[in-house]
């Protein structure tokens, strides 16, 4: 009989998106690097400071843009209650990160968990389930229609350079007004708001990847002003880029 809960720690090389679906409640996170997650028409980045709580049987799409070490936990559906929502992405507290690390000693096995380990996994579930009640706002839409998905892909491919909405509309074969309506209908946001979120998400990946100076990252993701980058980052995450990076460290 497989354990009521177990930890999954593994290092992965970069790879393109693949579908994933597990039969357990899944706390997905990384201890180094960053994962990309797509589900329910939205996309997130998971650096070490964030996690996704995914309901058993819920399909997701995961990609690895850079080398990453996963430090995730899977709970049997009889061991923990259902998550607050089918899929939630949230910021990990220091306590949650410490519990994820401590649970890493118990991987998948037919051997029963000792009482101490059961207590740790139960404590982690209690903390993670509570954190999941406050989802992170740092998310971008993935789009429904082929035209909008292509527009989003083109936008993401040109984050670091000059990019104009009119050029994106032309590339997908729509008038700017028609594409603007697609953004409003399918995402509830303007193209510029989506662009801003994409830039912050790309910056989060860069911050998680190493010690590249914040100014360099700001320019790489398309900002020509460090103050504008800091303001956008702070508004979306509630932290400055420097403090957000510091939260990745134990």
Name the nearest CA neighbour of 20 among 58, 67, 49.
58
Yes or no: say if 176 and 147 are a contact pair by the CB < 8 Å rule: no
Only one residue has tokens 């912050």, namely 200
pLDDT in tens, 43-84: 888 888 789 999 999 999 999 988 889 889 999 999 999 999
CATH 1.10.10.60 occupies which residues in the chain?
Answer: 143-246
Q: What angle do CA 33, 205, 164 make, to 5 degrees?
A: 160
Residue with tokens 């999941």: 132
Tell whether the model's pLDDT for residue 231 goes beyond 70.
yes
- Indicate if the pLDDT at residue 1 is higher than 70: no
Give the residue ranges of DSSP H helices in 132-213: 146-157, 165-172, 176-187, 191-209
- Outline which parts of the chain fall under CATH 2.60.120.810: 5-131
Position 49 scores a pLDDT of 79
Question: pLDDT at residue 242 above 60?
Answer: yes
Q: Please compute the mean of the pLDDT values over residues 21-32 and round it to a whole number.
A: 92
In sequence order, the 6+-apart residues with CB closer than 8 A to the CB of 197 are 138, 139, 140, 189, 236
Q: Distance (Å, rounded) from C-alpha 171 to C-alpha 148?
A: 11
Summarised one tens digit per residue, pLDDT across range 145-197 is 899 989 998 998 888 888 899 999 999 999 999 999 999 999 899 999 999 99
For the stretch 94-144, pLDDT in tens is: 899 899 999 999 999 999 999 999 999 999 999 999 999 988 878 888 778
- Res. 211: pLDDT tops 70: yes
Q: Facing residues of 164 across strands?
A: none
- Specify the fold of 5-131: Jelly Rolls (2.60.120)
Q: Which of 92, 17, 8 is closest to 52 using CA atoms?
A: 92
Q: CB count, 10 Å around CB of 37?
A: 22
Closest CA to 64 of 100, 28, 18: 18
Please say whether the beta carbons of 29 and 71 come within 8 A.
yes
For residue 196 the two structure tokens come to 């801003």
Does domain 143-246 correspond to CATH entry 3.40.190.10? no
Q: What is the mean pLDDT of the chain?
A: 91
The H helix count followed by the E strand count for the chain is 9, 10
């Amino acid at each position: 009989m497989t354990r009521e809960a177990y930890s999954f720690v593994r290092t992965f090389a970069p790879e393109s998106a693949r579908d994933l679906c597990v039969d357990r409640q899944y706390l997905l996170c990384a201890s180094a690097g960053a994962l990309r997650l797509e589900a329910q028409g939205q996309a997130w980045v998971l650096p070490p400071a964030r996690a996704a709580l995914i309901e058993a049987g819920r399909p997701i799409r995961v990609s690895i843009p850079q080398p990453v070490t996963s430090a995730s936990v899977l709970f049997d559906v009889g061991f923990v209650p259902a998550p607050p929502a089918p899929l939630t992405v949230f910021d990990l507290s220091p306590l949650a990160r410490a519990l994820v690390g401590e649970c890493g000693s118990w991987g998948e096995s037919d051997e029963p968990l000792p009482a101490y380990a059961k207590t740790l996994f139960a404590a982690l579930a209690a903390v993670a389930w509570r954190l999941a009640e406050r989802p992170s706002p740092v998310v971008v839409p993935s789009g429904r229609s082929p035209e909008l998905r292509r527009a989003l892909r083109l936008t993401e491919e040109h984050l670091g350079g000059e990019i104009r909405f009119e050029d994106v509309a032309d590339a997908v074969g729509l008038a700017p007004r028609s594409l603007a309506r697609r953004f409003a209908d399918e995402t509830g946001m303007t193209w510029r708001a989506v662009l801003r979120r994409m830039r912050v998400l790309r910056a989060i990946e860069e911050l998680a990847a190493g010690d590249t100076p914040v100014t360099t990252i700001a320019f790489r993701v398309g900002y020509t002003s460090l103050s504008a980058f800091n303001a956008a980052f702070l508004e979306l995450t509630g932290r400055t880029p420097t403090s957000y990076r510091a939260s990745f460290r134990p």
